[in-house]
Amino acid sequence: MKFLADESTDFPIVKALREKGVDLIYISEISAGISDEEVLMLANESERVLLTADKDFGELVFRLKRINKGVILYRLSGLTNQEKVQLITDAFSKYLDSFENNFTIINKTHLRIKRFP
């Protein structure tokens, strides 16, 4: 499975996932400043699950019905980078096969997977 991290994704998370062998493209490295719609379009075209801290993608996916390969939204404000990295890498270790074609929310206390209709 392949992933695309938008600009809201903390670089330590990107680095840690890559070190674990995750195929991940980081928007900040290839096309900084593009719109959320363009990010989602790029994720779709490259068949990548989107990793983001930007809740606007929830509106694009559910209310506006934008087609996508999957979204992982993490809500971890107030945590250190090390704590964020630990939670995200743990989620990838345990739930990697569940991310595709679903909307996953990771917060400080739990992980929730919403299946697309």
Supply φ then ψ for residue 108, to 5 degrees.
-65, -30
pLDDT digits (tens, 9 = 90+) for 37-60: 899 989 989 999 999 999 988 888
**pLDDT class for 117, splitting at 50, 70, 90?**
low
Collect all residues with Cβ–Cβ distance below 8 Å to 29 and sequence separation of at least 6.
Answer: none
- pLDDT tens digits, one per residue of 20-42: 999 999 999 999 899 998 999 89
**Nearest CA among 15, 11, 61, 17 for reference residue 39:** 61
Q: Is the pLDDT of residue 114 over 70?
A: yes
How many C-beta neighbours within 10 Å does residue 108 have? 13
Instruction: For residue 49, give the nearest of 27, 68, 22 by alpha carbon.
Output: 68
pTM strictly above 0.85: yes
CA dist 43 and 4 (Å) reads 6
Mean pLDDT of 75-104: 95
Question: Which 3 state secondary structure label does DSSP give 94?
Answer: helix
Domain assignments of the chain as residue spans, ordered by start:
2-115
Q: Report DSSP letters for 56-69, one per residue.
A: HHHIIIIIS----S
